Structure 1
Amino acid sequence: MERILDENQPREQAGFRKGYSTTDHIHTLNQVIEKSNEYNLPLCVGFIDYEKAFDSVEHFAIFDALRQININEKYVKILENIYQNATAKVHIDNMESELFPIKRGVRQGDPISPKLFTAAIEMIYLERQN
């Protein structure tokens, strides 16, 4: 599954991928800025910082993305079972909340989580372009 997730990411996505480095993107950006200055061309650069990024992606977006890139349905169902049965409770002092379902976010510490996040974000990006 990891290989398929990587193959379906654009080359611009360098985070969490074997053989890619965000350092390469920083170097490329520096070259673009230098050439813009050298040829006196206007340049506009935008950055997106997803606040609490891994907590923000809806579970249904993850599963939709996996199906769109043809991840074996057996694996999608396993992940759905893991995520759809996830619950949490809040502890404050000596008080404890009732269990509540978790509907967003990827699992912290799970090695596949960054790839699930980027797959979902890429699908959202592609939908917005069309």
Structure 2
Amino acid sequence: MNTYKEQENKSKEKKSSDNTGRISAARKYIVMLNFIGWIDKKILIKMLPFAFFLMGLSLVYIANSYVAEKNIREIDKTAKEIKELRSEYISVKSDLMFKSRQSQVAKEVLPLGIKQLEVPPKKIVLKTTAEK
């Protein structure tokens, strides 16, 4: 007749059974740790700071590995960039060497009206009074 209340009661029962399942699982774990009788609840509570320390240490270890991988990727990227820049440097240098040849310079300045000398330049020597 009143199906809403029945559904509400069923949902409450499910929630309570879920909580008891979790509690019983935790108790089973504690019982498993206490299989010899050496580990007491007080000792477990006393060990909690050390367990948290170990968890924190493991988190630091994981973070360190991520940082190391990031650095390795960055180093590889930089190495590739250096290779590319080195090849560009070599090609630009060879191009400059080619363009700085005398014959190439003469070809480049020919449209400006500057011509290469056919005869070698003459040296002008002034005779001083001491040489006469």
* TM-score bin, normalised by smaller chain: under 0.3
More helix by share: 2
TM-score, L = length of structure 2:
0.18
TM-score, L = length of structure 1:
0.18
Instruction: Tell me which of the two structures has the higher relative contact order, counting C-alpha pairs closer than 8 angstroms and 6 or more residues apart.
Output: 1
Larger Rg: 2
